[in-house]
């Protein structure tokens, strides 16, 4: 038999999906996968979701004590705890989303090897689980800044959402890239650990960008702030911290351009991530 | 499924290699590359130029010894693997009883697992809600449905997993060695259910070592030997060749 005798228009080619677009067509499954991720995360632990507060809490107090009190940032930066916390939760969201997305395929190997489904579902659901994790931390931040006199404005809320969307996009793109490579080379996982370790230092979370400008030449400073993480943290400072301090906190000199560059970079990582994912996906089932 | 003259599955000159990997890290890959040895390791041919097509409503057994490429064939048709050469085409919804229970999570309850796995197999919310009672009834799980699956016996686990898989809407059913599920009465029930599906016009591809069972379920047999198709014809002759 030859295929040329048959009208192939009625046929499908198994295993050929439409990538991220398929995720939107399988929304119900995505929802169940997210629910599975949140429901099983702290199974068999006594404190359960409390760990989600303990870990960032400890991290916060360590930075606050060392940077704020020992190194005296407290004196130079008004409401330093708010400055620190607003950036910290965003970096933590990125780190968790990126880390989860990277290991998403390997962790779901039982499914990936046996049943075909759009594999992009796994990194996407990992990002959404991280987002759900982020929300209570954001709630704490909101309570604190409202007590300190923060009044939501259209601008500040829009900036906060934009910053979060920027982080999620960047984490998804990188997560698909490294997650796909990770199936064949588990080195990717370790490499991602390094990126996550460096992440917080690449942003003005525990220092102010003024200090960075003092040491970097102008071109390098612009590259520094074209990092979605760095400009994202600064967006969070502008959204939550700047409105409550006396006087104004200046945006970095080319903030708008930095945001454009960072957004472009995040979108490019999603496109490249999707392409890499499609390339490696062909052998997922046999490499796992 | 409008045109019964069209086949349901076309496997056209398909070749599938597997790589026996020598390198498992970038460092190893680099060292191997530096020594000018092939990085991508030895090739092992799982399927070698296999072609066949299955008309709508036919039940076909794929037979062969271990390592002959049976399961690979099924995985190519389900889309889990992609052929290196040649093409696979399917018409209609494909569902596999391939390692049922792959999507089950031990820490979730039976109920949650039914929803999750039915969705994995392609059902939408409304369909799952409509069929939920049927699924539970068929599995004979009863009140245990709200227990965590890790407390199930292996028989209960397989019954529930099988029950979910069998209630999915499908036009093509792939069966891989799962009919060793549960005790004899449940097995009989499964075989009956599969026979019903065939009667409804579902196309079926079965991989099994149980020759008695495939003779009951299938009319046609394809024999694979070391990745090549060596026989394609009536099931009784195919079974005779294996023996």
Q: pTM for the whole thing?
A: 0.88
Residues in Cβ contact with A210 at an 8 Å cutoff, skipping those fewer than 6 apart: none
Mean pLDDT (chain A) is: 90
Return the residue of A nearest to B93 by Cα: A12
pLDDT confidence of residue A178: 96
Tokens of A211: 């200090």
Average pLDDT of span B26-46:
73
Tokens of B51: 């072609």
**B214 within 8 A of B239, measured Cβ to Cβ:** yes
Say yes or no for a CB contact (<8 Å) between A11 and B119. no
Is residue A47 pLDDT above 80, yes or no? no
- Compute the 3-state secondary structure of chain B and give helix, strand, coil in percent, each to the nearest 5: 40, 30, 30
Is residue B2 pLDDT above 60, yes or no? no
Is residue B56 pLDDT above 70, yes or no? yes
Q: At A138, is the pLDDT very low, low, confident or very high (cuts 50, 70, 90)?
A: very high
CB contact B31 to A (< 8 Å) = no
Q: In this predicted model, which residue has the larger pLDDT, A162 or B105? A: A162
Is residue B4 pLDDT above 60, yes or no? no
Say yes or no for a CB contact (<8 Å) between A285 and B80. yes
d(CA B158, CA B146): 16
Q: At B1, is the pLDDT very low, low, confident or very high (cuts 50, 70, 90)?
A: very low
Q: Which of B18-22, B142-146, B213-217, B239-243 has the lowest mean pLDDT?
A: B18-22
d(CA A15, CA A72): 58
Is residue A3 pLDDT above 60, yes or no? no
Is residue A21 pLDDT above 90, yes or no? no
Residues in Cβ contact with B116 at an 8 Å cutoff, skipping those fewer than 6 apart: A32, A33, A36, B103, B104, B105, B108
Say yes or no for a CB contact (<8 Å) between B112 and A187. no
d(CA A27, CA B124): 9
CB contact B6 to A (< 8 Å) = yes
Query: Which residues on chain B are in Cβ contact (under 8 Å) with A115?
Result: 78, 80, 96, 98, 102-103, 120-121
Highest mean pLDDT pick, A65-74, A239-248, A256-265: A256-265
pLDDT confidence of residue A257: 94
Say yes or no for a CB contact (<8 Å) between B119 and A28. yes
Helix axes A121-147, A27-40, angle to 10 degrees: 60
Residues in Cβ contact with B5 at an 8 Å cutoff, skipping those fewer than 6 apart: none
Return the residue of B nearest to A109 by Cα: B102
Average pLDDT of span B158-165:
86
pLDDT > 70 in chain A, percent: 98
Q: Which of A155-169, B154-168, B173-187 has the lowest mean pLDDT?
A: B173-187
pLDDT confidence of residue B37: 67
Say yes or no for a CB contact (<8 Å) between B91 and A113. no
pLDDT confidence of residue B214: 83
Largest alpha-carbon pair distance within chain B?
Answer: 62
Q: Are strands B228-234 and B220-225 parallel, antiparallel or unpaired?
A: antiparallel
CB contact B80 to A (< 8 Å) = yes
E runs forming strands in chain B: 7-20, 42-55, 59-63, 85-90, 94-98, 172-176, 203-207, 220-225, 228-234
Q: In this predicted model, which residue has the larger pLDDT, A99 or B42? A: A99
Is residue B49 pLDDT above 70, yes or no? yes
d(CA B153, CA A64): 51
pLDDT confidence of residue B182: 65
Average pLDDT of span B5-15:
87
Average pLDDT of span A61-72:
90
> How many C-beta neighbours within 10 Å does residue B122 have?
18
Mean pLDDT (chain B) is: 84
B107 vs chain A: nearest CA distance in angstroms? 7
CB contact B173 to A (< 8 Å) = no
**A119 within 8 A of A277, measured Cβ to Cβ:** yes
How many beta-carbon contacts under 8 Å exist across A and B? 108
d(CA A254, CA B164): 57
Return the residue of A nearest to B100 by Cα: A114
pLDDT confidence of residue B209: 75
**B113 within 8 A of B47, measured Cβ to Cβ:** no
pLDDT tens digits for range A212-222: 999 999 999 99
Tokens of A52: 């989600």
Residues in Cβ contact with B155 at an 8 Å cutoff, skipping those fewer than 6 apart: B181, B182, B183, B186
Say yes or no for a CB contact (<8 Å) between A110 and B102. yes
pLDDT confidence of residue A241: 94
Q: Which of A81-85, A129-133, A210-214, B104-108 has the lowest mean pLDDT?
A: B104-108
pLDDT confidence of residue B40: 57
Average pLDDT of span A60-68:
91
d(CA B15, CA B48): 5
Query: Which residues on chain B are in Cβ contact (under 8 Å) with A14?
Result: 76-79, 88, 90, 94
Say yes or no for a CB contact (<8 Å) between B79 and A16. yes
Average pLDDT of span A21-28:
88
Say yes or no for a CB contact (<8 Å) between B89 and A28. no
* Portion 98-157 of B in contact with A at CB < 8 A: 98-99, 102-103, 105, 107-108, 112, 115-116, 119-121, 124-125
Average pLDDT of span A76-93:
93
pLDDT confidence of residue A143: 94
pLDDT > 70 in chain B, percent: 89
Is residue B217 pLDDT above 50, yes or no? yes
> How many C-beta neighbours within 10 Å does residue A58 have?
10
Is residue B99 pLDDT above 80, yes or no? no
pLDDT confidence of residue A1: 47
Query: Which residues on chain B are in Cβ contact (under 8 Å) with A29?
Result: 119-120
Say yes or no for a CB contact (<8 Å) between B116 and A32. yes
Domain boundaries, chain A: 17-287
Tokens of A46: 């006594």
A110 vs chain B: nearest CA distance in angstroms? 6
d(CA A87, CA B177): 53
Cross-chain CB nearest to B80 (options A114, A187, A287): A114
């Amino acid at each position: 038999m030859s295929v040329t005798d048959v009208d192939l228009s009625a046929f499908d080619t198994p295993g050929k999906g439409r990538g991220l677009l398929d995720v939107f067509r399988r929304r119900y499954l995505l929802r169940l996968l997210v629910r599975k991720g949140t429901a099983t995360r702290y199974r068999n632990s006594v404190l359960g979701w409390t760990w989600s507060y303990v870990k960032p809490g400890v991290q916060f107090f360590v930075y606050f004590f060392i940077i704020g009190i020992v190194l005296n940032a407290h004196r130079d930066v008004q409401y330093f705890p708010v400055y620190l916390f607003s950036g910290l939760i965003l970096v933590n969201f990125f780190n968790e989303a990126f880390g989860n997305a990277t290991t998403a395929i390997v962790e779901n190997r039982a499914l990936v090897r046996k049943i075909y489904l759009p594999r992009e579902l796994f990194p996407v659901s990992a990002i959404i689980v991280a987002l759900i994790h982020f929300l209570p931390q954001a709630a704490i931040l909101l309570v604190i800044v409202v007590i300190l006199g923060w009044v939501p404005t259209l601008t500040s809320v829009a900036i906060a959402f934009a910053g979060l969307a920027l982080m999620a996009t960047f984490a998804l793109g990188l997560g698909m890239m490294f997650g796909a490579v990770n199936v064949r080379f588990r080195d990717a996982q370790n490499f991602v650990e390094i990126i996550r370790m460096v992440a917080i230092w690449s942003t003005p979370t525990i220092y102010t960008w003024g200090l960075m400008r003092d040491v970097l030449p102008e071109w390098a400073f612009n590259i520094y702030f074209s990092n979605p993480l760095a400009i994202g943290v600064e967006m969070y400072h502008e959204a939550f911290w700047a409105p409550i301090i006396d006087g104004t906190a200046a945006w970095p000199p080319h903030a708008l351009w930095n945001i454009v560059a960072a957004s472009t970079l995040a979108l490019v990582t999603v496109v490249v991530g999707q392409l890499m994912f499609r390339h490696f996906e062909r052998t997922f089932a046999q490499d796992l | 499924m409008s045109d019964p003259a069209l086949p349901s599955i076309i496997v056209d000159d398909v070749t599938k290699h597997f790589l026996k990997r020598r390198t498992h890290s970038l460092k190893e890959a680099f060292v191997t590359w530096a020594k000018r040895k092939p990085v991508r390791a030895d090739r092992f041919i799982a399927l070698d130029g296999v072609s066949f097509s299955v008309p709508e409503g036919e039940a076909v057994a794929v037979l062969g010894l271990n390592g002959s490429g049976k399961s690979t064939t099924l995985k190519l048709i389900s889309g889990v693997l992609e052929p290196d050469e040649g093409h696979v085409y399917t018409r209609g919804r494909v569902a596999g009883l391939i390692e049922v229970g792959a999507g089950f999570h031990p820490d979730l309850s039976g109920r949650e697992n039914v929803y999750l796995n039915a969705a994995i197999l392609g059902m939408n919310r409304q369909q799952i809600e409509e069929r939920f009672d049927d699924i539970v009834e068929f599995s004979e799980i009863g009140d245990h449905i709200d227990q965590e699956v890790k407390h199930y016996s292996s028989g209960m686990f397989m019954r529930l997993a099988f029950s979910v898989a069998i209630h999915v809407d499908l036009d093509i059913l792939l069966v891989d060695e799962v009919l060793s599920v549960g005790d004899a009465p449940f097995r009989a029930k499964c075989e009956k259910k599969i026979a019903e599906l065939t009667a409804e016009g579902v196309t079926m591809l079965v991989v099994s070592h149980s020759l008695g069972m495939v003779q009951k379920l299938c009319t046609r047999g394809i024999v694979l030997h070391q990745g090549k198709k060596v026989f394609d014809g009536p099931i009784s002759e195919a079974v005779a060749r294996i023996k």
